[in-house]
Structure 1
């Protein structure tokens, strides 16, 4: 009984392929040849897509878990990248950790300091400049040092005015060049920059970027292996059908097309699930982050998954599924010749 059902399936496959191959000849001679071929091409793709969707729906649990495994592998590097972007916003921007302090000469008054502040803020490599007068500097020092009463006994204020310069970009060479440029301004006694902290900061950021990049490459290779192995199992399950298709004249492209759609559909499902996992995971983690930040008097919170990043994730997953399926079919296509 099983052999008869299998024979009928192969026969119907042969009839379907034969009909698809003969279909263009059934159109009238007045119809342009390009339109006939284009219609046959669209019909072939539609049939392949419908066939792939129906086969995946016949195995919903297996298809779901395959997409889930791919989604976990996709969400890890994207999640780490999003966390790294959020860490860069923690407590403001990283540029503030690399501020250049311009200590002014004692004879520079508040008006001259404010004028120089505006001049520095207009420079192309400067994001922001803040003027701290001598009186403000003394008041802050009294509060932070706890020597308020002792400092009141001083005959005059020994602290100079300061301009805090926030650079546009954290780069060691550019910061040093900017520091030297600012040190030559009139009224500036000393321009100070903690380059060691800048180097540590830059090294931490580069380490995070490199780790995410390496993890992405590793998981992309894993995804290609997962989708390739899944498509290989589908090929083995349809080996007899494929041999019949090739026997009646089916081309390699016709044989390959349903598996490519299947790989793209796996990628689409994985991308959507990964997007949902990231959105839920960041939302769940954000609750603890907000509570912790509130204890330090900060309103910092994790951002969600941007729509652009989510769409890029889905498109990338579809491409990975397509490429993995193409590699799997290309490897086994030579073995599928009719015997």
Structure 2
């Protein structure tokens, strides 16, 4: 268990009155019919682990009833899986977009400097020498795209944080959208830079093969 919170009978009645708005009617009761309860937050939110925790708590002495909303946990897990797949699909599309955009940009750059390339190749420049500045440009383009994607992810996470928290709170739970963190951010920027470099390498290699010094 990650943490527990004790709710006394009086606190439970106060929350019940506030939720239903029947403070006057419930205040006329001679005795408080609500028992004390303990809200348990599991370490592992997976439905299987929570089910095992509920079964073990039910077997403890002094526990009358354990209430668990497995349907909500299943819906939450499905939503998380959907979010992961959407993020993966967007990542693949982003990678393809980087390759296409960088490749097209580098292709135009090569065409605009075609005469310069022919001149340097006439005096003995190798393909690796000609290719190098374009690869640097592609890497910078990829890094710029990665920074843009990182910023959009941050804004999207902030934009969705409040609705997701409100949805979880309506079921009496807490949930936060996962964040990239330092490792995830570094991975995103490195991958975007490598994709930019790869797109530039493909574009330059294809066009250098067609350039013949005259």
User: Which TM class, normalised by the smaller chain length?
Assistant: 0.7 to 0.9
Which digits, 9 at most, give the CA deviation of each residue in 1:52-101, with x for residues without a partner? xxxxxxxxxxxxxxxxxxxxxxxxxxxxxxxxxxxxxxxxxxxxxxxxxx
Question: 2 CA distance for matches of 1:242 and 1:261?
Answer: 16
Question: 2 CA distance for matches of 1:317 and 1:142?
Answer: 54
Distance change >3 Å, CA 228–CA 191, structure 1 → 2: same
Q: Is 1:233 aligned with 2:111?
A: no
Q: Which has the larger radius of gyration?
A: 1
Q: Which runs of 5+ in 1 are unaligned?
A: 1-125, 294-303
Question: 1 CA distance for matches of 2:68 and 2:146?
Answer: 45
- Counterpart among 48, 51, 57 of residue 182 in structure 1: 57
Question: 1 CA distance for matches of 2:67 and 2:153?
Answer: 42
Distance change >3 Å, CA 268–CA 222, structure 1 → 2: closer
- Counterparts of 1:125-140 in structure 2, within 5 Å, are 126-140=1-15
Question: 2 CA distance for matches of 1:305 and 1:167?
Answer: 23
Displacement after TM superposition at 1:223 (Å): 1.5
Q: TM-score, normalised by structure 1?
A: 0.49
Q: Is 1:198 aligned with 2:67?
A: no
Indicate the RMSD between aligned Cα atoms, in angstroms: 3.4
Question: 2 CA distance for matches of 1:197 and 1:248?
Answer: 71
SS of structure 2 residue aligned to 1:192 = coil
Question: What is the aligned partner in structure 1 of residue 136 from structure 2?
Answer: 261
- Counterparts of 1:6-85 in structure 2, within 5 Å, are none
Question: 2 CA distance for matches of 1:305 and 1:174?
Answer: 25
Question: What is the aligned partner in structure 1 of residue 172 from structure 2?
Answer: none
Question: 2 CA distance for matches of 1:183 and 1:308?
Answer: 40
Question: 2 CA distance for matches of 1:182 and 1:305?
Answer: 35
Residues 106 and 203, structure 2, Cα contact 8 Å, conserved in 1: yes
Q: Which runs of 5+ in 2 are unaligned?
A: 167-178
Aligned length: 195
Displacement after TM superposition at 1:239 (Å): 2.7
Displacement after TM superposition at 1:309 (Å): 6.2
Question: What is the aligned partner in structure 1 of residue 82 from structure 2?
Answer: 207
